[in-house]
């Protein structure tokens, strides 16, 4: 749970940590902004100056003018995006530097470059636009920007794919095959228009004919938190609660998304819970800390986790504790900021700026 936190932070009580965080915030005042992703622990979210999904937080990071210290309670790729979008004198810190995203790690640059080389006879950058999910390392964002592509999040995936397919014949979508596939279906593409590039197989495991025909080539990556939900979970929850609404994140498999009552980004899920009338029963297929917080914020509605069996926790989001936050705020001067070096930063910025233009 803890990385190498000094003992005083490991052993401090929650009350003491809260006091220390409050004092440090007061001292740093407008020099500091704390960004907290919706999947963070509830006690960490309480200290967020801004709480949001990855799209909203990157917009908020980009809009910071006064803050010199941006503490990002989230995972590594989010802090990298914030660093890319902020000015040189602004430093971004990840309170627990071990918080990564296993899905982002599924698209290694060596594998991506091998696939891209192979795709050159199919049109390369003239005909194929890379579109990368926010959940990617800065290097893949840079590759995307350099090749005319853009970043998307679950909030603007349709807009991003439309942007790409208005300009080029094909999209190469990294790294979440489920988000890409679900978005393709939503836009009216059929299963025959989409293929999955399996980086563990020779030539992606695809024939030339499949690649010629495909409009969307999906990288074979997934989120282990969201792919745990099944169509059986949906059937079971409906059998038990006939009046339930099933709402899921588009990182879930298509068999789940296609039968849910609603599917959308983290923001969509948050808004759905807020707008639902009192007395609503909502089963949600996404990360458990968000679901628990929605249940806590809306006691007049019955909000619960879809499977009833698994605990869909993102262990990486969960890594950041109050202990880490207190340590970061009191010791940021000796911590290493998240810094994306040039030229990766400038190329990645191109892809993020294109993202911010697309709704």
Give the binding site for ligand SF4 (CB under 6 A): 75, 101-103, 135, 223, 225, 287, 314, 316-317
Name the minimum Å distance from CB 295 to ligand SF4. 18
| CB atoms inside a 10 Å sphere around CB 246 | 23
Longest dimension (CA), the chain: 63
Q: Is residue 54 at the binding interface for ligand 13P, with CB under 6 A as the rule?
A: yes
Nearer Cβ to ligand SF4 (102/159) = 102
The neighbouring-strand residues paired with 174 are: 132
Instruction: Tell me which of ligand 13P, ligand SF4, none is bound by residue 154, counting a contact when its beta carbon lies within the kind-specific cut-off of 5 to 8 angstroms.
Output: ligand 13P
Q: Which is nearer to ligand 13P, 86 or 266 (CB)?
A: 266
- % helix, strand, coil for the chain, step of 5: 50, 15, 35
> Contact, 92 vs 82, CB < 8 A?
yes
- Residues in contact with 186: Cβ distance below 8 Å, sequence separation at least 6, in sequence order: 158
> Shortest approach of ligand SF4 to residue 38 CB, angstroms?
10
64 binds, among ligand 13P, ligand SF4, none (CB under 5 to 8 A by kind): none
CA distances from 281 to 154, 246, 277, 305 (A): 24, 9, 9, 11
Count residues binding ligand 13P (CB under 6 A). 11
Shorter beta-carbon distance to ligand 13P: residue 184 or 264? 264
- Residue 328 Cβ vs ligand SF4, minimum distance, rounded to whole Å: 19
Q: Which is nearer to ligand 13P, 83 or 168 (CB)?
A: 83
Residue number with CB closer to ligand SF4 (60 or 225): 225
Rounded to whole angstroms, the Cα distance separating 308 from 42 reads 21
**Tokens 């996404």 -> residue:** 286
Q: Tell me, residue by residue from 109 to 148, as one string, x for binding to ligand 13P by CB under 6 A and - for no binding.
A: -------------------------xx-------------
User: Which of 147, 154, 156, 183: binder of ligand 13P (CB under 6 A)?
Assistant: 154
Q: Is the peptide bond before 144 cis (omega within 30 degrees of 0)?
A: no
Per partner kind, with CB cut-offs from 5 to 8 A, the member of ligand SF4, ligand 13P, none near residue 102 is: ligand SF4
Nearer to ligand SF4, 74 or 149 (CB): 74
With contact defined as beta carbons under 8 Å apart, do 228 and 307 qualify?
A: yes
CA separation (Å) from 331 to 9, 231, 337?
11, 47, 11
Please count the CA atoms within 13 angstroms of the CA of 108 that sit on its side-chain side. Answer: 6
Instruction: Give the residue with the Cβ less far from ligand SF4, 58 or 147.
Output: 58
| 35 vs 314 by CB, closer to ligand SF4 | 314
Instruction: Say if CB 93 and CB 34 are below 8 A apart.
Output: no
Residues 221-280 that bind ligand 13P (CB under 6 A): 223, 251, 265-266
Residue 343: CB minimum distance to ligand SF4, A: 26
Q: Which does 265 bind (CB under 5 to 8 A by kind): ligand SF4, ligand 13P, none?
A: ligand 13P
Closest CA to 153 of 35, 253, 54, 262: 54
Which partner, ligand SF4, ligand 13P, none, binds residue 171 by CB below 5 to 8 Å per kind?
none
b/e burial code for range 48-67 (CB count within 10 A of at least 16 → b) = beebbbbbbbbebbbebeeb
Footprint of ligand 13P on this chain (CB under 6 A)?
53-55, 134-135, 153-154, 223, 251, 265-266
């Amino acid at each position: 749970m803890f990385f190498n936190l000094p003992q005083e932070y490991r052993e401090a009580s929650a009350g003491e940590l809260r006091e220390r965080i409050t004092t440090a915030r007061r001292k740093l005042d407008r020099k500091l902004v704390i960004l907290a992703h919706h999947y963070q622990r509830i006690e960490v979210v309480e200290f967020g100056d801004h709480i949001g999904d990855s799209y909203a937080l990157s917009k908020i990071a980009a809009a910071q003018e006064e803050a010199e210290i941006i503490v990002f309670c989230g995972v590594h790729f989010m802090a990298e995006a914030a660093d890319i979008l902020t000015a040189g004198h602004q430093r971004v810190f990840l309170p627990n530097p071990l918080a990564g995203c296993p899905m982002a790690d599924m698209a290694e640059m060596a594998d991506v470059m091998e696939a891209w080389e192979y795709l050159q006879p199919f049109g390369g950058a003239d005909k194929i636009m890379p579109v990368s999910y926010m959940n990617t390392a800065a290097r893949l964002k840079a590759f995307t920007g350099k090749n005319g592509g853009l970043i998307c999040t679950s909030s603007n995936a349709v807009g991003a794919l439309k942007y790409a397919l208005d300009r080029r014949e094909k999209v190469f979508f990294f790294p979440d095959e489920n988000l890409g596939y679900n978005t393709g279906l939503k836009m009216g593409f059929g299963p025959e228009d989409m293929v999955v590039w399996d980086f563990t197989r020779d030539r992606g495991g695809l024939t030339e004919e499949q690649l010629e025909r495909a409009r969307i080539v999906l990288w074979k990556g997934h989120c282990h938190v969201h792919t745990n939900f099944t169509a059986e979970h949906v059937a079971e929850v409906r059998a038990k609660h006939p009046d339930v609404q099933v709402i899921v994140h588009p990182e879930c498999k298509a068999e789940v998304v296609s039968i849910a009552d609603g599917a959308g980004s983290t923001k969509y899920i948050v808004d759905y819970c807020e707008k639902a009338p009192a007395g609503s029963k909502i089963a949600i297929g996404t990360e458990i800390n968000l679901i628990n917080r929605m249940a806590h914020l809306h006691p007049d509605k019955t909000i619960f986790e879809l499977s009833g069996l698994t605990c869909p926790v993102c262990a990486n989001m969960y890594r950041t504790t109050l202990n880490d936050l207190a340590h970061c705020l009191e010791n940021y001067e000796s911590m290493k900021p998240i810094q994306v070096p040039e030229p990766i930063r400038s190329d990645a910025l191109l892809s993020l700026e294109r993202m911010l233009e697309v709704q």
